[in-house]
Chain A
Amino acid sequence: EPEVTQTPSHQVTQMGQEVILRCVPISNHLYFYWYRQILGQKVEFLVSFYNNEISEKSEIFDDQFSVERPDGSNFTLKIRSTKLEDSAMYFCASIPADGYQETQYFGPGTRLLVL
């Protein structure tokens, strides 16, 4: 069964450094999402992406963040100048099409620790 994959599984970085989190959505999916979950807190929506552009973003997704689909398979989240409070699990998700009954399939996540 096709799965969303994410790399790396764990990332440790120093405050102020840039990180790139990578996701490979399910191959025939068209809509892509990033979520984050700070330890002990709820899963929070960051951004959705369709047709090579951002379709929705939350107030969390500020200028520090950017997303890109550099080729036909990868979907990346870049965090510039990381802060301590960026430490969280980051989940990628995808759906085949924009229907309200579409279930989102989540990747295994990247655990980011900013020191």
Chain B
Amino acid sequence: QKEVEQNSGPLSVPEGAIASLNCTYSDRGSQSFFWYRQYSGKSPELIMSIYSNGDKEDGRFTAQLNKASQYVSLLIRDSQPSDSATYLCAVNGVPGNQFYFGTGTSLTVIP
């Protein structure tokens, strides 16, 4: 069974703060890890992908991967009210490259 676990939140941070989102996964064979953002009633929208251990930065977003601990995180710096959404962690399955999603963490950025 391929499990992806996230804290469901809600997570509230003040505008300008750092939001930290965490994800663990069960399948050691997974090689690709993704963070998506989802607004209510909308489809998942890709934020970042990460494939190697360590940090990957893209603008205000930093993804961190630790395969030994089976742990992925997303940091959002200088959080903005527009960042308020549900953040989904996705892990690929092998074979087939289908995605397994966590339940998502609801983030609210308070102005």
Contact = CB atoms under 8 A, between A and B. Distances in A.
Interface residues on B, range: 20 to 34
Contacts of A41: 103
Nearest to A106: B43
Interface of B: 31-32, 34, 41-46, 49, 51, 88, 90, 92-104
Contacts of B34: 103-104
A45 B99 contact: yes
A42 B103 contact: yes
A50 B2 CA distance: 22
Contact of B93 (A43, A44, A45, A111): A45
A100 B88 CA distance: 18
Interface in A41-70: 41-45, 48, 55-56, 58
Given A43-B44, A56-B93, A107-B43, A101 B32 contact: yes
The 7 lowest CB-CB distance pairs between A and B, nearest first, are A56-B96, A43-B101, A106-B43, A100-B31, A42-B103, A45-B98, A48-B96
B22 to A, nearest CB: 16
Contacts of B103: 41-42
A25 interface: no
A30 to B, nearest CB: 11
A103 B46 contact: yes
